[in-house]
Amino acid sequence: MRCGFALLIGFACCGPVAAVAHPHVFIDATIEVIFDAEGRAEAVRIGWKYDSLFSMTYVAEQGLDPDFDGELTPEEEAALAGFDMDWHAEFAGDTYALLGEVPLALSRPQEPTAEYRDGSLISTHLRRLAEPVVMGAEDLVVQVYDPSFYTSYLIADTPVLTGADGCRVQVYEPDREAADARLQAALDELAGGEDAESEFPAIGSAYAEEARITCAR
């Protein structure tokens, strides 16, 4: 969990059943894959649009938008910059890149932006691949998911390929019926447990949405 989101723990303190009613936060994600002049994938820009409940709660907790008009002053919006970038060292950023099935290292977040629009917090950040990726026989895969399933991600728009030549992208959704079955089995196993939240299994990958980028060889 990102450091700045501790306030949401309060939503899960209504007993063991409510505590494991995953997920708690809902995010519409956007993906932009950036290519260099040689046609190699070099970075991924991620956008997160938070659900209205989380957004309203966070804004209120931070003392922003005191007149509740749904708009922030330039000073208030400036205070939002990087609000969700205070990551624990072990936090992977809920974004995963693979070449075929081989995981690729991503940098820490760079160039953060944030705004509050139409009742939703919206942020973006850039993550660079450790080395530019030459596109060829294997697809470049970008997955979005929270392993703990505290947060649910949906790829909201067709991913953007910037600087790509002869490439196409397709979004794949998870097998939700199978994922729901795994979630229910986890809930059944933890039912009534005092430490249900802390012991909740890492099943978020079952709900992973992914963008697959294929380029002509």
Domain holding 97, by residue range, is: 3-215
Peptide bond into 23 cis (omega under 30): yes
Going from the C-alpha of 134 to that of each of 38, 67, 131, the distances in angstroms are 9, 51, 9
Pairwise CA distance, residues 19 & 21, whole Å:
6
Instruction: Please answer whether residues 23 and 151 qualify as being in contact, where contact means their C-beta atoms are separated by less than 8 angstroms.
Output: yes
Tokens of 49: 């649009």
Domain total for the chain? 1
Peptide bond into 66 cis (omega under 30): no
Digits of tens for pLDDT over the chain (217 positions)?
A: 454 443 343 333 333 333 445 789 999 999 999 999 999 999 999 999 999 999 999 998 998 888 777 788 888 888 888 999 989 988 999 999 999 999 999 999 999 999 999 889 999 999 999 999 999 889 999 999 999 888 999 999 999 999 998 899 999 998 888 888 888 887 777 766 555 555 666 788 899 999 999 998 6
pTM across the whole model: 0.84
